Amino acid sequence: MAKNNFQKAKGVKDWYRKDSILRNRIKNTLRNVFERYGYNPIETPMIERTDVLGYKGGGEIQKEVFSVIDQGGRKLALRFDQTVPLARFYSTNNDIRLPFKRYVIGEVFRDGPTQPEQGRYRIFTQCDIDILGVKEMTAEAELLSLAKDAFYELGLGDVEVNINNRKLLDGILDYAGIKESAKNPAIVALDKMDKIGIEGVRDELENLSRDVNGADLTKDNINRLMETIRLKGTNDYLFNELSRIIESERGKEGLKEIKQLLDYSKAMDLDFVKLNPSLARGLDYYTGTTIEVYLKNKDIVKSAILAGGRYDNMVGEFKGDGKEVPAVGMSFGLERLAMIIDNYEKDLPQTTTELYLIPLKTTDECLKIARELRSKGLNIDIELRENRKIGKSINYAESQGINYVGIIGQDEIKKGTVMIKDLRKSEQEEVKLEAIIGYVKAKINK
């Protein structure tokens, strides 16, 4: 029979051993922080109707949607983010009272370009938090506070939070003289800043100006836009400079919201929050604040490790009753967080097993001991193959990254002990059954 040569699909990855353990640790850490701030979990299906996912999300992202047709001929698609399903969920559940705070940790799917070295895959996990029903900038302020706590508990390095506002960005585009028909394409080009750099963005805009709508985007427009988004300085300096040039009412409203959020950030001592007038999130449902978070050390990951913003129109439009439902949220990228922590922590655990029991013709007794220790909170694995040579069992434990084995023979049963061997130091010690948990936990936590 020919040997099977099955390969995984393009742009995806199997996660196991230390990678999978680390991913679970990150999920658990974020889950704890989310719940501390009063967010409750929801789970929505990975599959949505195509018309749901196509209702909002921008032309660019629609090119990356995985589409399927079920046996009934219905057009379905895999979710590309967690926000559109949230809007659909709220619009079809009339018992939800506002404010509504939720979190979700789950996979999303995009049939687009991949960058494994930057944690970008076709299947990736988003850890999202959202607040519905709060129009004030206090909602964004809470998200930034939560982000700071999450960064601390994950042990991340120094980060920088970039904020902007879609209304302010609209005001900047108005100042540059860019017409409505060219605004969304210009925003899509700006959204590529962290991938192609500022000169790459200029090239994109110049290419755009040569398209059919080129008359709506002139060289003078591009120069004024580039001049504005290149502004650098303190938050106060940038705010004052933008206040000087922004004339549209929408742009001024965006400036007012930015000022409120910067004031709240200062009150909470969030000194890593920076106004960035070039920040543009490409999805077309953003209506106000936009947020992206980067590591200051970009040698590990250049792209954003957290992103989000305000989308006040989407949920109400899904509901179809003409009422605005204020909404804001942000999403942690699990794959990129794991890359960073893996880079910082060189001795990540390869296993969750704390003690590996090896019975020496004491299988019955050993199974009972394993059950008792597990019931008291110790992670136990056990040699299940009978009459296995002790050397092979120890070699197996070593191959799995297990540091402690417990050998149980007839002598140990009589004395009510376990011979615990530290495989890293080639040391062993006889420990009373009732003292095993404290002994092993103390060893692990050294």
The architecture that CATH gives domain 355-444 is: 3-Layer(aba) Sandwich (3.40)
Tell me the pLDDT tens digit for each residue of 277-319. 988 876 677 899 999 998 887 777 878 889 999 999 888 888 8
| Domain boundaries, given as residue ranges, for the chain | 18-344, 355-444
Average pLDDT over all residues of the chain? 90
* pLDDT > 70? residue 350: yes
pTM of the model: 0.87
* Residue 215: pLDDT band with limits 50, 70, 90: low
pLDDT at 239 over 80: yes
Domain pair 18-344 / 355-444, same fold: no
Tell me the C-alpha distance between 191 and 263, whole Å: 26
Give residue-wise pLDDT tens across range 124-181: 999 999 999 999 999 999 999 999 999 999 988 778 899 999 999 999 999 988 888 8
Maximum mean pLDDT: which of 50-59, 317-326, 377-386? 377-386
Per-residue confidence (pLDDT) for residue 16, from 0 to 100: 92
Average pLDDT over residues 231-248: 94
Binned at pLDDT 50, 70 and 90, residue 253 comes out as very high
The tens digit of pLDDT for each residue in 362-401 reads: 999 999 999 999 999 999 999 999 889 999 999 999 999 9
Which CATH number applies to 18-344: 3.30.930.10, 2.60.40.10, 3.40.50.11810, 3.20.20.80? Answer: 3.30.930.10
The 3-class secondary structure across the chain, one letter per residue, is CCCCCCCCCCCCCCCCCHHHHHHHHHHHHHHHHHHHCCCEECCCCCEEEHHHHCCCCCHHHHCCCCEEECCCCCEEEECCCCHHHHHHHHHCCCCCCCCEEEEEEEEEECCCCCEHHHCECCEEEEEEEEEECCCCCHHHHHHHHHHHHHHHHHCCCCEEEEEEEHHHHHHHHHHCCCCHHHHHHHHHHHCCHHHHHHHHHHHHHHHHHCCCCHHHCCHHHHHHHHHHHCCCCCHHHHHHHHHHHCCCHHHHHHHHHHHHHHHHHHHCCCCCEEECCCCCCCCCCCCCEEEEEEECCCCCCCCCCEEEEECCCHHHHHHCCCCCCCEEEEEEEHHHHHHHHHHHCCCCCCCCCCEEEEECCCHHHHHHHHHHHHHCCCCEEECCCCCCCHHHHHHHHHHCCCCEEEEECHHHHHHCEEEEEECCCCEEEEEEHHHHHHHHHHHHCC
The pLDDT assigned to 56 comes to: 61
Quote the pLDDT of residue 196. 81
Q: How many percent of the chain have pLDDT more than 90?
A: 62
Is pLDDT at 212 greater than 70 in this prediction? no
More confident residue, 352 or 212: 352
